Amino acid sequence: MIGFPRRRLALIPAGLLAAPALAQEAPWPNRPIRLVVAFPPGGLTDVMGRMVAQRLQAELGQPVVVDNRGGAGGTAGTQVAVRAAPDGYTVAVAVPSTHITGPILFPTPGYDGVNDVAPVGAFASVASIAVVHPSVPATSIAELTALAKARPGALNFGSAGAGGSVHLAGELYKMRAGIDIVHVPYRGGAAMLTDLLSGRVQIAFDNLPQILPHVRSGAVRGLAVTSRERQALIPELPTMIEAGVPGYEIISWFGLTAPLGTPAPIVARMNAIMRAMVADPAVQTQLGQMGAAPLSMTPAEFGDFLRAERERYGEIIRVSGARVD
């Protein structure tokens, strides 16, 4: 230390010399992590979020607290997560409506959803089933399309809310089949399902885990699945493409993002935990029982995936004229 006599240095208390070292934060993580689920408890996104939260908690040795923040189609809670400190102590469950369609449809979402997050990875996907109430005289997608063309604007389809993958599944069907059916948005999947089962709503494209029991019971009639491949839990249903709707694919997917600027080693560690989770046979069995499929992506791959999804969904929204009421 130039210009500082040794005898004066010796008089400085040892505790002050050690202060900078003591001020350094312990390695991450050293306190609880918040996982934001931008929907109320009990829904499919919440179930998926809690699954990954449990695995992160077990591997990281710190509590991972699920923070349910519903509202505005998932954009309210996601905005909170996006704006959090980029220190590895806040992550968000990403689904199509929170990171892709919500920022497009809502006038002031407060975030971009793709360019202003640090992608961590994806871990599951879920197809939907195109269903009709038994009062609808259609036993196939071809018959439903013919009926809709014969009666333009007379049939309706319900969704859990504007902008979600279930809504845009119906819009994509309208586009690809050249038909006019009326969208009826609800405040959540439970309300839509109630009206579908009563016949107030005639058509829906609902997530497989929610609607499959009602297909099995005969309360609704399953016509096709929205994925490119048939689903193991209901292999007798064709895909929408097989049923005569070209270029059709809509799935819900689940991933994690962190605030932009979160250190790359932290993102990489969480990604490694997620990829090990979906490689676990027990987890694959659990997902399969729910009608879900495992997904595994690096952070870079998930970032590319988000950009591709925004382009795809953006086209559907633009062409269909879908909007938030």
Q: Are strands 203-207 and 156-159 parallel, antiparallel or unpaired?
A: parallel
Q: What string of H, E and C letters represents the secondary structure of the chain? A: CCCCCHHHHHHCCHHHHHHHHHHCCCCCCCCCEEEEECCCCCCHHHHHHHHHHHHHHHHHCCCEEEEECCCHHHHHHHHHHHCCCCCCCEEEEECHHHHHHHHHHCCCCCCCCCCCEEEEEEEEEEEEEEEECCCCCCCCHHHHHHHHHHCCCCCEEEECCCCCHHHHHHHHHHHHHCCCCEEEECCCHHHHHHHHHHCCCCEEEEEHHHHHHHHHHCCCEEEEECCCCCCCCCCCCCECCCCCCCCCCCEEEEEEEEECCCCHHHHHHHHHHHHHHHHCHHHHHHHHHHCEEECCCCHHHHHHHHHHHHHHHHHHHHHHCCCCC
Flag whether pLDDT at 14 surpasses 80: no
Residue 292 CA to residue 278 CA, distance in Å, equals 11
Residue 40 tokens read as 């109320």
Residue 316 CA to residue 325 CA, distance in Å, equals 17
Residue 143 CA to residue 168 CA, distance in Å, equals 21
User: Phi first, then psi: what are they for 135, rounded to 5°?
Assistant: -75, -15
Residue whose pair of structure tokens reads 């600027």 in the numeric block: 261
Q: How confident is the model at residue 38 (pLDDT cuts 50, 70, 90)?
A: very high
Q: How confident is the model at residue 177 (pLDDT cuts 50, 70, 90)?
A: very high
Q: How confident is the model at residue 2 (pLDDT cuts 50, 70, 90)?
A: very low
Residue 31, pLDDT score = 97
Angle between helices 44-60 and 264-279 (to 10 degrees): 110
pTM of the model: 0.84
Q: What angle do CA 291, 292, 295 make, to 5 degrees?
A: 165
Residue 36 CA to residue 3 CA, distance in Å, equals 53
Residue 25, pLDDT score = 63
User: Phi first, then psi: what are they for 48, rounded to 5°?
Assistant: -65, -40
Are 212 and 233 in contact by the 8 Å Cβ rule? The answer is: yes
- Between these two residues, 186 and 158, which has the higher pLDDT value? 158
Q: What is the overall mean pLDDT for the chain?
A: 90
Per-residue pLDDT, averaged over 207-232, amounts to 95
Segment among 81-85, 108-112, 138-142, 160-164 with least mean pLDDT: 160-164
Residue 222 CA to residue 136 CA, distance in Å, equals 12
Flag whether pLDDT at 13 surpasses 80: no
What radius of gyration, in Å, describes the C-alpha atoms of the chain?
24
Flag whether pLDDT at 135 surpasses 70: yes
Residue 141 tokens read as 């997608």
Segment among 157-161, 231-235, 296-300 with least mean pLDDT: 157-161
Digit-coded pLDDT (tens) for 273-319:
999 999 999 999 999 998 899 999 999 999 999 999 999 999 989 88
- Enumerate domains of the chain plus CATH numbers: 33-126+251-320 (3.40.190.150), 133-225 (3.40.190.10)
Flag whether pLDDT at 9 surpasses 70: no
Flag whether pLDDT at 192 surpasses 70: yes
